[in-house]
Amino acid sequence: MNKMKGIIYDLDGVIVDTAQYHYLGWKKLADHIHVEFDEKKNEKLKGLSRRDSLLAMLGRVPDEEQIKKWCEMKNRFYLEFIRKLDVSVILPGAADFLETVRKNGSWKQALASSSRNARLILKKLGIERFFDAVVDGTEVERAKPDPRIFLKAALKLQLQPDQVVVVEDAESGIRAAQAAGMKTIGIGRPDLLSRANLVVKDLSCISLATLEGLFR
């Protein structure tokens, strides 16, 4: 049996804080098409795919052509906002944690993000070198809470689900990881992520010993 273990990270809300730019992109689209939208409504979009976010924002299902057009428009706005992205969006403890795990050598690391822009963001921030595998929103048909994104990441790491812990900030992501048979660490509010094996504020609050403890 393979002794290696794996960590699969979500991107937005775990490693980087790009949520503010997603919000600004949706807000610009909402203003453009005269739909009411604010930060409170935006909370419900957290972790959803681009298409699901649009439908949640509208509260209805327009025809496919319209969906495509508005998704593309939101993405253009989003890309404008992240054009000058810099390392200040990396969340507390994330870079150090990725580095520590990498150096330790007995863990493989993967990224599993619903974002179709995930690779671009990793590249812009110079952090793609930490990951042995990446699965992004272009590679999966079904968004979280469907477990397939995490199963695909584990497959790329050549690990079984029970050798893997998933780090997620969205409830849909925790559900997806559990459906995949993986351990879970929630990043954020314990009341919202109570399903997770462990909930912490950010990656500065955990160590390799914390990870090992989950497998004992």
Which residues are designated catalytic? 10, 12
Q: Binding ligand B16 by CB under 6 A: which of 6, 7, 8, 10?
A: 10
* Binding of Mg ion by 171 (CB under 5 A): no
CB of 65 to ligand B16, least distance (A): 18
Residue 69 has, within 13 A of its CA and on its CB side, a CA count of 7
User: Nearer to ligand B16 by C-beta: 69 or 106?
Assistant: 69
Q: Is 136 in the site for Mg ion (CB under 5 A)?
A: no
For the segment 171-210, give every residue that binds ligand B16 (CB under 6 A): none
**Which range of residues in 6-14, 101-109, 124-132, 206-214 is near ligand B16 by CB under 6 A?**
6-14
Cα three-residue angle 153-151-4, rounded to 5 degrees: 60
* Residue 128 contacts residue 150 (beta carbons within 8 Å): no
42 touches 26 (CB < 8 A): yes
Residue 100 binds ligand B16 (CB under 6 A): no
Question: Which position among 7, 29, 30, 47 is part of the footprint of ligand B16 (CB under 6 A)?
Answer: 47
Provide, rounded to whole angstroms, the least separation between the CB of residue 173 and ligand B16: 7
Binding track, positions 11-50, relative to Mg ion; x by CB under 5 A: -xx---------------------------------x---
Give the contacts of 143 (CB within 8 A, at least 6 positions apart).
Answer: 48, 49, 51, 52, 114, 137, 149, 172
| Footprint (CB under 6 A) of ligand B16, residues 104-163 | 113-117, 137
In 33-130, where does DSSP find H-type helix?
39-43, 50-58, 64-81, 94-104, 118-125
How far is residue 166 CA from its own chain's centroid?
10
d(CA 132, CA 109): 6
Residue 124: CB minimum distance to ligand B16, A? 13
In whole angstroms, give the CA distance from residue 122 to residue 16: 9
Binder of residue 171, out of Mg ion, ligand B16, none (CB less than 5 to 8 A by kind) = none
Residues making contact with Mg ion (CB under 5 A): 10, 12-13, 47, 169-170
